[in-house]
Amino acid sequence: MSAASMPAPASGWEAAADVVVVGSGVTGLTAALDAAEAGLRVVVVTKDVADAGCTRWAQGGVAVVVGDVPGDSLEAHVADTLAAGGGLNDAAAVATIIAEGPSAVRRLQARGAIFDPDPDSGRLARTREGGHSAFRVVHAGGDATGAEVERTLVATAAGQGLPLLTGHVAVDALRDDHGRVTGLAVLDDLGRSGVLHASAVVLASGGYGQLFASTTNPQTATGDGIALALRAGATAADLEFVQFHPTVLHTPGASGRRPLVTEAVRGEGALLLDRAGRRFMLGVHPQAELAPRDVVAAAITRRLAETGAECVWLDATGLDGFAARFPTVYAACRAAGVDPTREPIPVTPAAHYSCGGVVADVDGRTAVPGLYAAGEVARSGLHGANRLASNSLLEGLVVGARAARAVAADLAGPRPMGGPGRVLPAVAGIADRWTVQRAMTTGAGIGRDGAGLAAASDAVEAATLLGAPIDRAGVEDAALTLLAQAVLVAAGTRTESRGCHVRTDFPERDDRWQRASLVVGLDSSGAPAVRSELAAAGAA
């Protein structure tokens, strides 16, 4: 097997590895490369081409403190992360992940990543984004950081001959009689099935931005990994905290993946204006345009409702060298007929990041033996109720590496003898994707209420039919249907506003929820239900 796509034989094929990694973004490839370097036989499974996931679309950068910015510190980065997270972070997880950021970035540089240098000092250039108290975000290609991260890891994987099974969607985990994961069932684009036997499965398959009609996420972000983990007996938490990026390029009537206008544009001085040309973030938050992302997205949403406008405007005309500093944003604006050097950019919020996910520790271990989850698919405790900008590539690099070490350690001892494992019959509730997206966009966006959440739930339920997914689209639709139900049940239960979860019928924070993450599992009928509240260990 080589880094070139493995051949897809006829239906019913079987193969074996030590560890199967699902996903080929920053987290998955970091985990896979490190596991292979630890001597494990690794196969990476990805449902599209290798770089089709969210990583390559990340613009802003990697938030990291390497010690060369006067006045900045790991402690300040931790404090900013906790402040953004609204009391639901796991403080120990935050400290661990942030402390390991510098070595993770150095490791990526050693693998060939080139970050932008500061032309004066020669050190890494830094930018600033919402919620950060310092210029600490390193970037590449101006605003093409994710593309550089993905390029580096894909090239390294190719150079090392890492087996990559493209065009295969993960359907379900195999489990033995003790519930331990023993492999993965997959389907290719033609619906042909295969089984990968493995002692460990690492989910690094990203989030569920495609639950919403307008998102920064590509088509791949359908929550498959979370759905798979729930069906395998794991739990998920913080699912109600869907982060909306405040600024995507607005073009009337457009939906689907929308071009991001990186927060770094505001970090370097751009201002948000309403239709009357007023700076409405003044007075909303002391950091104004650079308030944490949830605050800015909610303020824009309120302003749109107050003014009846379809968008607000980001005025970057005062920035020098815009086209060179933000080439991706510049190209997207020009393609839409906007010249950001001469006129304000029309922007709206769009679904961007899943702060919650499969409950896992900072080593990726879930409650199901043999099943690991890392990166956006997981709830590690780093983000709480609202992720701090550019902490996601950081988490992928750090926890991807930690998960590889955890797998290697767990497989070093005697491997459990639990039989070959089997997949349970894969009948699932499947609703039409557009119906789900419409229901979620109408009822579960920024500014939810109980009635809207219930109506969305009814709409999804009315559209849901039982069936066995026979191809990638079916697996994705089943995952989106399950995730919609899970997000709605969590959002309906949390009767307060906190972080990205903004309820118009409960507009204030409620201290009773201060340290309570909602944990969702499947009930005996396979429906998502809130199981318990997980105290956010040591949250600020």
The stretch among 55-63, 113-121, 364-372, 409-417 that binds ligand SIN (CB under 6 A) is 55-63
Q: Let me know the angle formed at the C-alpha of 475 by 228 and 200, rounded to the nearest 5 degrees.
A: 35
Binding track over 245-284 against ligand SIN, x by CB under 6 A: ---------------x-xxx--------------------
Helix (H) or strand (E) holding 81: helix 74-84
Does 390 bind ligand SIN (CB under 6 A)? Our answer is yes
- Binding residues among 118-177 for ligand SIN as defined by CB under 6 A: 129
Select 166 or 392, whichever has its Cβ closest to ligand SIN: 392
Does 98 bind ligand SIN (CB under 6 A)? Our answer is no
Write phi, then psi, for 62 (nearest 5 degrees): -120, 120
Give SS3 for 296: helix
Angstrom distance (rounded) from CA 296 to CA 289:
7
Select 127 or 366, whichever has its Cβ closest to ligand SIN: 127
State the nearest-atom distance from the C-beta of 376 to ligand SIN, in Å: 10
Between the alpha carbon of residue 491 and those of residues 155, 299, 419, 516, the distances in Å are: 40, 20, 39, 13
State the nearest-atom distance from the C-beta of 311 to ligand SIN, in Å: 17
Select 223 or 521, whichever has its Cβ closest to ligand SIN: 223
Q: Give the binding-site size for ligand SIN (rule: CB under 6 A).
A: 12
Query: Looking at 180, 266, 293, 387, which residue is catalytic?
Result: 293
Residue 51 gets which letter from DSSP? T
What tokens were used for 341?
């050097």
Angstrom distance (rounded) from CA 133 to CA 291:
10
Binding track over 347-386 against ligand SIN, x by CB under 6 A: ------x---------------------------------
Judge whether 293 counts as a catalytic residue.
yes
Q: Let me know the angle formed at the C-alpha of 533 by 532 and 537, rounded to the nearest 5 degrees.
A: 135
State the nearest-atom distance from the C-beta of 246 to ligand SIN, in Å: 8
Does 60 bind ligand SIN (CB under 6 A)? Our answer is yes
Contacts of the segment 455-461: beta carbons below 8 A, 24+ positions apart: 456/484, 456/488, 457/485, 457/488, 457/489, 457/492, 459/435, 460/431, 460/435, 460/436, 460/484, 460/485, 460/488, 461/485
When CB distances to ligand SIN are compared, the closest residue is: 60
What tokens were used for 441?
């966009």
From 24, 156, 392, 497, residue interacting with ligand SIN (rule: CB under 6 A)? 392
Query: 10 Å Cβ neighbour count for 279?
Result: 14
Select 46 or 243, whichever has its Cβ closest to ligand SIN: 243
Does 389 bind ligand SIN (CB under 6 A)? Our answer is yes
The stretch among 35-43, 230-238, 306-314, 388-396 that binds ligand SIN (CB under 6 A) is 388-396
Catalytic residue positions, numbered:
293
Q: Which residues bind ligand SIN (CB under 6 A)?
A: 58-60, 129, 260, 262-264, 353, 389-390, 392
